[in-house]
Structures are given as structure tokens and as C-alpha cells.
Amino acid sequence: MKKFRLFIENFLVYGLGGTIGKIVPLIMVPIVTRLMPDPSYYGISDLSNTLISFASALAVLGMYDAMYRMYFEKDEEDFKKRICSTALAFTLCTSLLVFLLMILFRGLIARWFFSDRKYAYLVYISAAATLVTATNNLISAPTRMQNKRRVFVVTNTLTPLLSYSISIPLLLRGYYIIALPLAIALSGFTIEAAFFIMNRKWFRLSFFDRSLLRPLLSIAIPLFPNFLIYWVFNSSDKLMITNLMNVGAAGIYSIGAKLGQVSQLIYAAFAGGWQYFAFSTMKEENQVESNSRVFEYLGVISFSASIFIAAFSYFLYRLLFAGDYVEGFIVAPYLFLAPLLQMLFQVAANQFLVVKKTWPNMLILSGGAAANILLNFLLIPRIGIEGAAIATLCGYIISDLVCCLVLIRMKLMKIRTRFLLSCLLLLLSLLIWRIFFHRNVFLGLAEAVLCAALYLFLYREDIGMLLRGMKKETGKRE
């Protein structure tokens, strides 16, 4: 129960604290779409985010996770300061290089990402946002690692509020294309400055240690392709829709993905608490059993939530959006489940990181990403934006399946039969929803309740054990 409480505490504080910064943009989506006269404007703004995420992955080069892993290697504060300073110095250099390359090749980048060189000016803003985003990841990390919970929650609340206080006036004045990207850059810079002031003792030039750069890079570089592969999963579909269809379709797809971003909040919440939990418990004897149970329980919770999202998706989109944006509902269930499968992959693949073997992650994810791209080419011309969502989901299913099989063979993971039954139940329920009643909320809800009841039945013993353990813990405190 102590490990379970540790995981829940970090999930609630760092995980959910981190999601606050993403809840506000989600709430603001219906308002923003009503301020934009055409879906293509939203599509271009969202493609700017796609560019920023791609460039940031290049700039960070896996150094954030490497710094997190090495931070817990020793307890000496001097060692931790040298790790943080060395990681930031390296990331600052790579970020500046990516920034300059983006400026130099702005025309070509505009053609690839926005389908027109006339948007080269947007690349300038995206480059600035990339520089801020990449370095901010590392500068804010000591706040988490020192357990400064209140500071973390407050800063993540202020970031989106500041961003929309900049973007909404710009949208009202008709700056539809630059409003959101410019707000990201300016608000990000402000928050980064605040984090640097708070964490400045961890980042000094005198703490730079060249001898630590090699072990950091030995962890970071194998992880770097993983970030690019995740980008392929999460963002390449928008580029392919833009080129195979049009920017307006990409805008509708992006709105369809917004309901899916609810699960990204769950994933972000999990990731914020998971890193500390995973590395702080990695040397315990029953680590394999604990990690496997976390994987299984999170999987069942994710499956149940996805079935309910499928039931309500059409109703929610009719309620929140208007015009062509409503048709984005059809991709929402797929894109809600996809980040949760990404979460499950990270839980499983963490076992490779614990034993310091990061290359299997890259190979497994590469296979899933390749399948995603291939399916995009096959499905988008035939069934439009729904094809892109199905391709993304299938890519993650393939990655999760292969990862689990490899880890089971390495005796680093255990999968029980009832979890396999849970997976089959999910696939069957989504297939029935799509064929028979994807626009009927009442029948969809009935199906979701039935599936949830079956999941509760399959895991009744585990739920009872958890409730008894919580009751025992409560009794001890009293």
C-alpha cells in the first residue's frame, strides 16, 4: 500500500497539476473555433503546434528523460546540480541550432507543414516557441524533483491563462493565423523566466561537467528516436491529411482530436507522477509484479473510459461545436484511446529503461509508426479523417502488443488471461458502436455500462483487495 500511495500522491500532485495547463486550452476550444471564420485557420494554427512539437523533440534530443534518470543515480546534491547544469547546457546549444535552422529553411518548412511558402512568417514564431519550449522542459524539472508541489500547480495554472489573455484579443482583431502560436511563445518565455529564477541554484556554468555528458548522452540518444516516433504517431496524420486532402480537413480532424486530448490530460497526469514513482522503486525485489499490475489496471481503466467516450462523442460535438466541426466527432473515440495506449506502452517499456536498454523501445515504436504511416496512405484517400485516426490507433496497438511479448520473453513483465479478455471486449464494443449506433447516445451508453460491469466482474477480487487495503490504512491513521 505504501507504493500504491506513493504513486497516487505523485499522480495527483505532479500529474494532475501538470494537466491544469492543458485543461484551459481544452475548455477554450469551442470559443476559439467561433472566433475563427473558417476551419482552415484552426488547421494552420494547429499545424504550427505540430511543427513546434517536432522541432522541440529535435532540440531536447532525449536529454530530459536522461537528466531525470541520472538525477536519482546518487543522493549527493553536488552530483544532482552537475547533472542538471550539464543537461541544460547541452540542450541550450541544440535548441539554438534548431532555432537557426528553422529560420534558415523557413520557406521549405512552410511548404511542408502549411502547404504554402507564404506562411514562412509563421515559422519565425514557431522557431521562437521551439526555443522556449525545449529549454523550459529542463529548467522546470527541479521543481518536480524537489517535490515543490504548490509551485508546480500554480505555475501550470498561470501558463494557459497568460496564453489566452494574449491570443483572444488578437483573434478579436482578426489575427487568426498568428494569435495562438504567438501566445504560446510569449507565455512560455514568461513562465520559463519564472522557473529559472526559482531553480537558478541548480543551473550554473561552473557546474557543467563534461565527464557527465557522456553517460547522459548514452541514455538520451537512444531515446531521441522514440520522441520522433511519438511525433509521427501524434502529428504526422495532420500533415498527411493536409497533403492528401486539404487544410480545412486538417482543421476538422484537429477539433476531433480535442476530445481525445482529454485522455492526453490523463496521460500527462500519469506521466508526471509515473517518472518519480518508476525510478524511485526500480530497485525493489517485486518490481516486475508491481509494474505489470500498474500496466493491467491502467489498461482496464483506459478501456472503460474509451467506451464511454465513444457513446457520448456525437452528443458532445453537437453541443459544443457548429457547422463542419461537428463531423470531427467520428475520430474522437480513436484519438481518445490512442494516448492511453501510449501511456500503457511507456509503463511497459519503462522496464527496458530500468535495465538500461533503451534501444528496444526505438525498434518496437518504429514498427508501429511505420504501420501508422502505411495505413494513413491506404485509409485517408478512402475514408478520410477517420482513416487517419484508425491508423494512429492501430500503430499503438501493434507497438503495445510487440512490447509486451518481448518483455514477457525477457521475464520483465507478466500478463494475465483476464487482461487479454478485457482487450477483446474493448475491440468488440468499438466495432459494434461504429457499425450500429455511433450517432445514438442512448444505445451507446447502454453498451458502455454493460462493458463496465463486465470489467468490474473480471477484476472483482483486485477491487476488493484494494478496498480492504485502503480501509486498513485508514484504520492505522486513526
Reported as a single tens digit per residue, the pLDDT across 436-465 is: 989 999 999 999 999 999 999 988 887 777
What pLDDT score does 99 carry? 95
- Give the integer Cα–Cα distance in Å for 270 and 267: 5
Residue 239's CB is within 10 A of a number of other CB atoms, namely 20
Whole-number average pLDDT of the chain: 82
Amino acid in the structure at residue 431: L
CA pair distance 38, 61, nearest whole angstrom = 36
pLDDT for residue 281: 52
The answer on pLDDT for 221 being more than 90 is no
**Residue 247: per-residue pLDDT:** 82
**pLDDT tens profile 239-266:** 899 888 888 888 889 888 877 777 766 6
Q: What is the pTM of this model?
A: 0.74
CA-to-CA distance for 460 and 449, rounded, in angstroms?
A: 16
pLDDT in the model for residue 384: 92
Summarize pLDDT for 303-361 with one digit per residue, the tens.
Answer: 998 999 999 999 989 988 878 888 889 999 999 999 889 888 888 887 787 666 767 87
Cα 29 to Cα 328: distance, rounded to the nearest angstrom: 13
Q: Where are the domains of the chain?
A: 2-473
User: Using an 8 Å Cβ cutoff, are 372 and 233 in contact?
Assistant: yes
What are the phi and psi torsion angles at 446 (to 5°)?
-60, -45
